Structures are given as structure tokens and as C-alpha cells.
Structure 1
Amino acid sequence: MEISSQVQLPFPREHVYRTYRDRLPELVNWMPNVREIEVQERKEHPQALEMVLVWHGGGEIPAAARALLSEAMLSWTDYTHWDDRDYLTRWRIAPHAFTEAIDCQGENQFIAAGDSTIITSRGHLRIDPKRIPGVPSFLAGMIARAVEEYLGQRIEPNFQQLAASVAAFLRAEG
């Protein structure tokens, strides 16, 4: 499944890019679907940054329901390479459940548009049905397609929700 999203924020590119790159853990209060973002690794290079973030979702899920879901089902690791020259980040998301079966990666481009920033997100989500443990092979393909569709319908709105959270954060900062 292809992932595609575009959003425009009424803030200069440098502010938007640096907020995404450097301040995501501070945005949790503005993201209803996220409980915590942990920085596991951060390696700065000239004009680039390599980062590993662990996201803990389930913020809007009632605590009783969260108790029935494993933490692995609500968490993922985000591997990013930030290219400061081109205002671009390449990302790969590794869910903590069914990690071997899911391939999700892409890139975000931050484009200056006057005093605004256009963020384009492009990528893909693929699920290999042969790598889903415990599922009979005759059901695996159908289940993989259903899960891919379900996740795909949530990824694009999550990009837009993240952008709205960044905008709210930047407005609050003045």
C-alpha cells in the first residue's frame, strides 16, 4: 500500500523542520494518540542527524482496553535520517508486533512556501503474509491485506494529526 500525505503549516520551514527533528518528545501533550516518545539514539553529523525514537501509542484508548492489548501492539520504533541540506527525512517504522512481517518506510520533504511550509510524505506499507506467525497459510494473505488496509487508513491521518500537533505546539510557543 502506498502512503501519501501533504499538509501546509503557516510557519517558516526552518521552525517546522527543527520542531519535527528536535522536539517531537515535547509534543506528546498535543498528540492524543501518543502516550510517550522516547529518544533511544541520536547521532549528529555535519548537516545530518540519525535518530531512533520509540513511540508508545494508545493515548485515546481507555486504560481497561489497553490492559487487553500488549504494549508491543501499541508501540513502534522510528528510525530516521535527517538531511539538513535538503530539508528531508527518510524514515523506517518497525512495529513492535509482527516486526518481521511489516515493511513501512518513506520520506518527508519540507518545502518552503513563503512564510509557510508544505510537508509531503511519501512511502509504503507492505505486509508479508508468510512472516505472520501462527496464522495458517490459507488465511495469511487475506489477513495481511486486511491489516495493511487497516494500518494504511491510519497512517495518513496520523501524518496530518502530527502536523496539526506541530502547528498547535508552535502557536503555543508564540
Structure 2
Amino acid sequence: MEISSQVELPFRRDAVYRTYRDRLPELVSWMPNVRAIEVQARNEQPQALEMVLVWHGGGEIPAAARAFLSDAMLSWTDYTHWDDRHYLTHWRIVPHAFTEAVDCQGENQFIATGDSTIIRSRGYLRIDPKRISGVPFFLASMIARVVEEYLGQRIEPNFQQLATSVGLFLHSQEN
């Protein structure tokens, strides 16, 4: 499944890029579907940054329903490479459930348009039913299709929600 999102924010590219790159854990209060973001690793290099973030989702899910879902089903690890020269990040998302079956990766491009910034996200999500262990293949194929569709319907809106959160955060910094 292809992932595609494009959002324009009325802030300069450097501010938008640096907020995405350096301040995501501070944005949790503006993201209703995220409970926490933990920085696991951060390796700065000249003009680049390698980072590992663990996201804990499920903020929008009522606590009673969350009791039936494992934390692994609502969490994922985000591996990113930030290219400061080109205002670009390459990302790979690894869910904490069905880890070996899911391949989700892509890139975000930060494009300056005067005093605004376009965030263009492109990527893909693939689930390999052969790698879903403990389930007969015919069921794994159905599960893979359903889960891919379910996640695919949420990833793009999550990119847009993240951009909205960055915009709200930057607006709050102006005041």
C-alpha cells in the first residue's frame, strides 16, 4: 500500500524542519492519538542526524478498550535519518506487534514556499503474510490484507495530524 500525504504550514522551512527533527516529544499534548514519544537514540553528525523514537499510540482509545489491547499493538519504533542539507528525512517504522511481517518506510521532504513549508510524505506499507507466525497461511493472508488496510487508513491521517500539531506548537511559540 502506498502512503502519500502533503500538508502546507504557514511557517518557514527551517522552523518546521527543526521542530519535526528536534522537538517531537514536546508535541504529545497536541497529538490526541499519541500517549508518549521516547527518544531511544540520537546520533548527530555534520549535516545529519540518526534518531530512534518509540511512539506509544492509543491516546484516542478509551482506557477500558486499551485494557484489551497490548501496548505492543499500540506502539512502534521510528528509525529516522535526517539530511539537513536537503531538508529530507528517511524513515522506517517498525510496529511492536507483527514486527517481522511489516515493512513500512519512506521519506518526508520539507519544501520552502516563501514563508510557508510544504511537508510531502511518501512511502509504503507492506505486510508479508508468510511472516505472520502461528497462523495458517490462508488466515494470515486475510489478516495481512485487513491489517494493511486498517493501518494504511490511519498512517496518512496521522501524518496530517502530526503536521497540524507542529503548526499548533509553532503558533504557541510565537505568542
- TM-score, normalization: structure 2? 0.98
SS at match of 2:67: helix
How well do the aligned residues superpose, as a CA RMSD in angstroms?
0.6
Q: Could you say which residue in structure 2 is the equivalent of 1:128?
A: 128
**1:18 equivalenced with 2:18 (yes/no):** yes
Q: Is the deviation greater in 133-142 or in 160-169?
A: 133-142
Measured against aligned partners, the alpha-carbon deviations of 1:93-123 in whole angstroms (never above 9, x if no partner) come to 0000000000000000000000000010000
Distance of 2:31 and 2:41 partners within structure 1: 22
Percent of aligned pairs sharing the same letter? 83
Q: Could you say which residue in structure 2 is the equivalent of 1:55?
A: 55
Distance of 1:63 and 1:140 partners within structure 2: 29
**Number of matched residues?**
174
Distance of 1:147 and 1:75 partners within structure 2: 15
Q: Could you say which residue in structure 2 is the equivalent of 1:146?
A: 146
Measured against aligned partners, the alpha-carbon deviations of 1:45-96 in whole angstroms (never above 9, x if no partner) come to 0000000000000111111111111010000000000000000000000000
Q: Could you say which residue in structure 2 is the equivalent of 1:155?
A: 155
Structure 1, unaligned stretches of length 5 or more?
A: none
Give 1:134 deviation, angstroms.
2.0
Q: Is the deviation greater in 17-26 or in 144-153?
A: 144-153
Regions of 4+ moved over 2 Å: none
- TM-score, normalization: structure 1? 0.99
Measured against aligned partners, the alpha-carbon deviations of 1:134-153 in whole angstroms (never above 9, x if no partner) come to 22112221221111111001
Distance of 2:118 and 2:162 partners within structure 1: 13
Distance of 2:28 and 2:17 partners within structure 1: 17
Q: Could you say which residue in structure 2 is the equivalent of 1:66?
A: 66
Structure 2, unaligned stretches of length 5 or more?
A: none
